[in-house]
């Protein structure tokens, strides 16, 4: 990733509009900023959230609060707790997320 033509700026996430995204169960509240080809999100999953799709987008995902369970299409499973992250390339390994407790995430993709 190369970040170009981006002057210094500050984001107050509390001022960024929320968009709601339904899961198979529960929902995700996204606050999204786009900087050229880079999308940055603060995402909050409700307790009991289960994604309604397999994702093939690449991400750097940092768990800020709660616990996030991630399942890969090959059956492997990982649990993230605050301070843990995962990274995956575009079209590398399909994955989907769920959470029993709810989770707040910082995602770069």
Average pLDDT over residues 48-72: 97
Q: How many CA atoms lie within 13 A of 67 on its CB side?
A: 8
* 0.85 exceeded by pTM: yes
Is the predicted pLDDT of residue 108 greater than 80, yes or no?
yes
Is the predicted pLDDT of residue 27 greater than 80, yes or no?
yes
Alpha-carbon gap, residue 28 to 20, rounded angstroms: 6
pLDDT at res. 1: 67
Is the predicted pLDDT of residue 2 greater than 80, yes or no?
no
Is the predicted pLDDT of residue 3 greater than 90, yes or no?
no
pLDDT at res. 78: 98
One of 2.60.120.10, 3.40.640.10, 2.60.40.10, 1.20.1250.20 is the CATH number of 18-108, namely 2.60.120.10
């Amino acid at each position: 990733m190369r970040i170009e033509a981006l002057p210094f700026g500050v984001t107050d996430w509390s001022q960024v509009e929320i968009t709601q995204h339904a899961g198979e169960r529960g929902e995700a509240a996204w606050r999204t900023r786009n900087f050229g080809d880079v999308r940055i999100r603060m995402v909050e999953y409700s307790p009991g959230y289960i994604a309604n799709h397999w994702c093939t987008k690449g991400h750097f995902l940092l768990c800020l609060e709660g616990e996030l369970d991630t399942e890969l299409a090959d059956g492997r499973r990982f649990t993230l707790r605050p301070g843990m992250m995962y990274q995956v390339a575009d079209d590398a390994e399909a994955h989907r997320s769920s959470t029993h407790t709810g989770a707040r995430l910082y995602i770069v993709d």
